[in-house]
Structures are given as structure tokens and as C-alpha cells.
């Protein structure tokens, strides 16, 4: 029996691994779903009986009636986006899964989005990060610079007035002096922010206290990561990263739970590699294979609609990610997308300047590395209605076994389609 019933689920690659689908597919056994970092830059897709929902801030368990969903202190919360997401869901007759929002979550303000856009433009073509433009970086900057606004600040008119005045004074200085833009009038932000406070107030409570209570009661808790480990602010391909701790460690700072509460870490990975935005991607294929994966896999961003860069599986990066996150079990998604590739390539090492690297480079960067490939057999059969591992074609089984061996972690869940039901569970 597991000591603790707290699972952390993380993206093991560069995001969009299918975390939303996996959270939802596991959801029947979960009592509480929690988002702990990132913000509306996330786009987590859930498909149930043909109905598709993309969550940006709400946890992906929201389609389960009556279950508890939480937004932890580590999230940067865009109230406009959250309220829209809630409205969309409720207007479609969705039962109100109970939502709890941490008062300590930082608020993405309109000026964060403006600054995100201006900073990207100032970086120029060669240095752009390719952010989602949703104010994530600038909001986390303010959090760490100790000048951010938190959800709790929205609830108190005086506190909001004071914090916003101070923030705007600085931001307007930046906007006008550095970027030559117009200043943002106080009332233009204050009035909507008061409205957000009123709308969010009923949901604000101590996420940390509630989680500890639930832990004592033996409830199953699932902490849902956003983005992917290779976008982690400390351990990813810096500076081409997002601004939060996307690895499993972020689940503790982002909820207030202590590490000893942890049960298992579930790593979600695609059967191939994708990335959206700039930055190194050693196995990127800009030819036929990349196009095949993008088209068959529908690899277009769930948040921005941008085409995702696609390529073969990258074992050195995944081994790095497995260790970084302490992954206990893998959910392997999109195996069905690989049907029709008569040969599958897999990157088992890198080369840089004529030197072979079998591990992730010590300098933490994937710049200038090229992939060393091995080939595995492909398959032609459609996997979308396979219900068991044994019903997969031999070459697909071989691919899964090969991945387990390379990474030293069992593949406990296999995705063969986007629907909740298109999931092979091998004892997760």
C-alpha cells in the first residue's frame, strides 16, 4: 500500500504531453485536483464522449461532478481568464466542482501582459523566447521582486488601492520611459480588479490547510503540473523556459505541502517530442516526419494555436527529466499517432563538436548538440480501439518495452487517442 495518497503529475518534456487527458483519465479515483504553478499559458485538453474542453487555469478534474478542485499559491492567476473559464463551464450545464483558490496566488495584471509583449518585441527576432504573451514572466518577476499583487489583495479595497498605486507608478515609468508607450490610468485597472475580487471571494480559502486535512482523512490528491520539466526555470533549457518550477519539486512550494506528503510522481510523456516557442530541440524534424507527426497528432498549441515543432523521442533529455522529477511511473501518450511510420528513430545520445555525449550536457544547455539515432520497427495497425497492452501490435509493444528499459521506469498508462476512454491502464 502506498504510504501517502498524494500524486504529483508532471510533463516530462517541453509541455503539451497530454497532462490534461491523463489527469482526467485517472480522475475517477481522485478526490482533489490541484494546479500548483504556471498560469493561463497552460492549455490542458480533456475530451469526454466527444466533448472537448481546454483548461488554462482550472484543474483538469473539473469535469467530475462534485469533486474538489484547487488553485495553489504557486499559480499566477489571471482573473479575467479564470472567470471566463468558469462561466464557459457553468453555462454548458457543468456541475460546479467545488473550487478553492489560494489567497497567496499572485495575480496576472493587464500590465504584465503588456510588458510580456513589449519585452518579447525588444528581444528581437534572434533572441525571442516565443512566450505565450500572457504575462507569465512579468508576473513571476513581480512576485520575486516583492511588488506583486496577490489574490488576497483583490479582496480589500484599501489594500488593493495602495498596492496598485505603487505597482502602477513603477510600471508606468517603465512603459513611458523605456518603451515609449502611454501610461496606464489607475481607474482603468482598479475598477475591474475590484470586480475580480468580488467575483473570486467566495472561492478563496487556505489551500494548504485544506490539503493537510484531506491528507489526514486519507483522501486521494492529485497535484497537476503545467508546462514540462524541460521548461523549468532552474533545470530547463534556460533562457528558453517558462518562469516557474515545472518539475515535481514545484508541487511543494506551489501548494505548501511538505515533501514527506508525497506518494508517487507520474511523468507524462508523448511517444515523440514536441515543443512550441523558441529554444533548442535536438530531435526536431523539419521535413516529412515532423509534418507527419504535426498533422496526425494535431500538434497545434491549445493556448495560442501555434504549430508545434515535432521530432523523434529524445532519450538523454528524458533520462534527465526522469531523475530530476523522481518519476515513479510513466503515462505514455499519443502512441496511436505513430501508426504508419515504417521506421521509428530514437535519439539515444548527442554529439557536440565531434564529441559524443550519452547524457544531458553538464552545462544545462542543449545548444549546438545534434542527435545520434537508432532505429526501431514501426507498425501499420490502427491503435485507437486497443484496450489492453497485449492487443497492441508487436512493434508497438516493443517500442513501449524499449522506452521502459531506456528510462528505467515502468509505463503504467498508454494513450491511444484523445478520449478519456482511449487509455490502456497497466495497473497505475
CB 236 within 8 A of CB 10: no
404-423 binders of ligand GDP (CB under 6 A): 415-418
Site string for ligand IMO, 6-45 (x = CB under 6 A): -----x---xx------------------------xxxx-
Cα–Cα distances in Å, from 270 out to 38, 93, 208?
20, 32, 31
- Which of 118/337 has CB closer to ligand GDP? 337
Please indicate whether residue 87 is annotated as part of the active site: no
38 lies in the binding site for ligand GDP (CB under 6 A): no
Specify the residue, 38 or 137, whose C-beta has the smaller distance to ligand GDP.
Answer: 38
Residue nearest to ligand IMO (CB): 277
- Residue 117 CB, nearest approach to ligand IMO (Å): 11
- How is residue 190 written as a grid cell? 482598479
Identify the three-state secondary structure at position 328: coil
Taking the complex as a whole, how short is the minimal distance between the CB of residue 422 and ligand GDP, in angstroms? 6
Pseudo-torsion of CA 258, 259, 260, 265, nearest 10°? Answer: 130
Nearer to ligand IMO, 137 or 371 (CB): 137
Contacts to Mg ion by CB under 5 A = 16, 43, 302
Per-position x/- string for 333-362, each x denoting binding to ligand GDP as judged by CB under 6 A, each - no binding: xx-xx-------------------------
Given the residues 16, 24, 78, 116, select the one marked as catalytic. 16
Residues 6+ apart with CB under 8 A from 69: 32, 33, 34, 58, 59, 61, 62, 97, 98, 99, 100
| Residue 129 binds ligand IMO (CB under 6 A) | yes
**Residues between 158 and 177 that touch ligand IMO (CB under 6 A):** none
Helix (H, G, I), strand (E, B) or coil at 268: strand
Pairing mode, strands 411-415 and 329-333: parallel
CB of 372 closer than 8 Å to CB of 283: no
Strand runs labelled E in 159-225 = 221-224
- What mask, x for binding ligand IMO by CB under 6 A, covers residues 131 to 150? xx-x-xx-------------
HSE-up of 35 (CA within 13 Å, CB side)? 32
CA distance 43 to 30: 21
We find the least distance from the C-beta atom of residue 7 to ligand IMO, in angstroms, to be 17
SS3 state of residue 317: helix
Q: Residue 235, interface with ligand GDP (CB under 6 A)?
A: no
- Listed in sequence order, the residues at least 6 apart from 84 whose beta carbon sits closer than 8 Å to its beta carbon are none
Please count the residues of this chain forming the interface with ligand GDP, following the rule CB under 6 A.
22
CB 327 within 8 A of CB 267: yes
Residue (42 or 428) nearer to ligand IMO, CB: 42
Q: Is 314 a catalytic residue?
A: no
The correct pick among 277, 290, 297, 316 for binding ligand IMO (CB under 6 A) is: 277
Nearer to ligand IMO, 136 or 396 (CB): 136
- 3-state helix vs strand vs coil in the chain, percent to 5: 35, 20, 40
Q: Find the residue with minimal CB distance to ligand GDP.
A: 415
**Grid cell digits, residue 385:** 480501439
Can you tell me which of 12, 34, 222, 231 binds ligand IMO, judged by CB under 6 A?
A: 231
In this structure, what C-alpha cell is assigned to residue 181?
A: 508607450
By the criterion CB under 6 A, which residues form the site for ligand GDP? 11, 15-21, 43-45, 47, 298, 302, 333-334, 336-337, 415-418
- Name the residues annotated as catalytic: 16, 44
By the criterion CB under 6 A, which residues form the site for ligand IMO? 11, 15-16, 41-44, 129-132, 134, 136-137, 226-228, 231, 242-243, 276-277, 302
Amino acid at each position: 500500500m502506498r504510504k501517502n495518497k498524494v500524486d504529483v503529475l508532471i510533463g516530462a518534456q517541453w509541455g503539451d504531453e497530454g497532462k490534461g487527458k491523463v489527469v482526467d483519465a485517472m480522475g475517477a479515483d481522485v478526490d482533489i485536483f490541484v494546479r500548483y504553478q504556471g498560469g493561463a499559458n497552460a492549455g490542458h485538453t480533456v475530451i469526454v464522449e466527444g466533448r472537448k474542453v481546454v483548461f488554462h487555469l482550472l484543474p483538469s478534474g473539473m469535469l467530475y461532478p462534485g469533486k474538489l478542485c484547487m488553485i495553489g499559491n504557486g499559480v499566477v492567476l489571471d482573473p479575467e481568464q479564470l472567470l471566463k473559464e468558469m462561466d464557459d463551464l457553468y453555462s454548458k450545464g457543468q456541475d460546479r466542482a467545488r473550487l478553492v483558490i489560494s489567497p497567496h496566488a499572485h495575480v496576472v495584471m493587464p500590465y504584465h501582459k503588456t510588458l510580456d509583449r513589449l519585452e518579447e518585441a525588444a528581444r528581437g527576432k534572434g533572441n525571442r523566447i516565443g512566450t505565450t504573451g500572457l504575462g507569465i514572466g512579468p508576473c513571476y518577476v513581480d512576485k520575486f521582486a516583492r511588488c506583486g499583487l496577490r489574490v488576497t489583495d483583490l479582496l480589500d479595497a484599501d489594500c488593493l488601492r495602495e498596492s496598485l498605486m505603487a505597482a502602477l507608478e513603477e510600471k508606468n515609468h517603465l512603459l513611458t520611459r523605456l518603451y515609449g508607450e502611454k501610461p496606464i490610468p489607475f481607474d482603468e485597472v482598479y475598477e475591474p480588479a475590484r470586480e475580480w475580487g468580488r467575483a473570486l471571494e467566495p472561492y478563496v480559502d487556505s489551500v494548504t490547510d485544506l490539503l493537510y486535512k484531506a491528507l489526514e482523512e486519507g483522501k486521494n490528491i492529485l497535484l497537476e503540473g503545467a508546462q514540462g520539466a524541460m521548461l523549468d526555470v532552474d533545470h530547463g533549457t534556460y533562457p528558453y523556459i517558462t518562469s516557474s518550477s515545472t518539475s515535481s519539486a514545484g508541487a511543494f512550494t506551489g501548494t505548501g505541502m511538505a515533501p514527506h506528503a508525497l506518494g508517487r510522481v507520474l511523468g507524462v510523456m508523448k511517444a515523440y517530442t514536441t515543443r512550441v516557442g523558441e529554444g533548442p530541440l535536438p530531435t526536431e524534424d523539419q521535413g516529412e516526419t515532423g509534418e507527419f507527426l504535426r498533422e496526425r497528432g494535431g500538434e497545434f498549441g491549445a493556448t495560442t494555436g501555434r504549430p508545434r515543432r515535432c521530432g523523434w523521442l529524445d532519450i538523454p533529455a528524458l533520462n534527465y527529466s526522469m531523475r530530476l522529477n523522481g518519476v515513479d511511473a510513466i503515462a505514455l501518450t499519443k502512441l496511436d499517432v505513430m501508426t504508419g511510420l515504417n521506421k521509428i528513430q530514437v535519439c539515444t545520445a548527442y554529439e557536440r563538436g565531434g564529441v559524443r555525449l550519452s547524457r544531458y550536457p553538464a552545462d544545462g544547455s542543449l545548444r549546438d548538440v545534434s542527435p545520434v539515432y537508432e532505429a526501431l520497427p514501426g507498425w501499420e495497425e490502427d491503435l485507437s480501439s486497443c484496450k489492453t497492452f497485449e492487443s497492441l501490435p508487436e512493434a508497438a509493444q516493443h517500442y513501449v518495452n524499449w522506452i521502459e528499459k531506456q528510462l528505467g521506469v515502468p509505463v503504467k498508462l498508454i494513450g491511444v487517442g484523445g478520449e478519456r476512454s482511449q487509455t490502456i491502464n497497466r495497473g497505475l
